[in-house]
């Protein structure tokens, strides 16, 4: 099963989320990566409880999340999640590719990285 995938990469208001949910067909699989979803007291709000939300509220409100249809067999990989990274393991049911790791990452564009060096040792 291959869901359509989309990235919602702008700040979303609760009103914006309410516009997304009703337009998704209940029986159609979907998978969204969310950045800066609306949150209140560490919980993402505005998406309802009919689908799956994968996120972590460690160290504050989540800034990255995965939003998926219940028909997808996707589970959180909590050991890799934090407020800026949401990671899930999707069991596809496909014999050729039976597992896919899905990641949604928040990257703050305010801070600039300088002097980054990679070493092989």
Tell me how far CA of residue 25 lies from CA of 19, 56, 113, in angstroms: 13, 26, 41
Q: Look over the chain and give the mean of its residue pLDDT values, rounded to a whole number.
A: 79
* Residue entry with tokens 């309802």: 48
Written as six digits, the tokens of 116 are 């980054």
Render pLDDT for 24-42 as a digit per residue (tens, 0 to 9).
Answer: 555 678 888 998 889 999 9
d(CA 91, CA 19): 28
The total number of residues written for the chain in this structure: 121
Q: How confident is the model at residue 14 (pLDDT cuts 50, 70, 90)?
A: low
**For residues 77 and 100, is the Cβ–Cβ distance under 8 A?**
no
| pTM of the complete model | 0.73
Query: What is the pLDDT at residue 85?
Result: 95
């Amino acid at each position: 099963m291959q869901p359509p995938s989309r990235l919602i990469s702008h700040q979303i208001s609760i009103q914006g989320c309410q516009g997304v949910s009703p337009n998704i067909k209940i029986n159609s699989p979907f998978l969204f990566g969310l950045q800066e979803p609306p949150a209140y007291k560490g919980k993402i709000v505005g998406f309802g409880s009919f689908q799956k939300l994968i996120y972590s509220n460690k160290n504050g409100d989540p800034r990255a999340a995965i939003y998926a249809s219940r028909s997808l067999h996707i589970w959180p990989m909590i050991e890799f999640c934090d407020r800026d990274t949401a990671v899930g393991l999707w069991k596809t049911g496909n014999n050729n590719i039976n597992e896919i790791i899905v990641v949604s990452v928040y990257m703050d564009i305010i801070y600039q990285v300088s002097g980054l060096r990679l070493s092989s040792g």
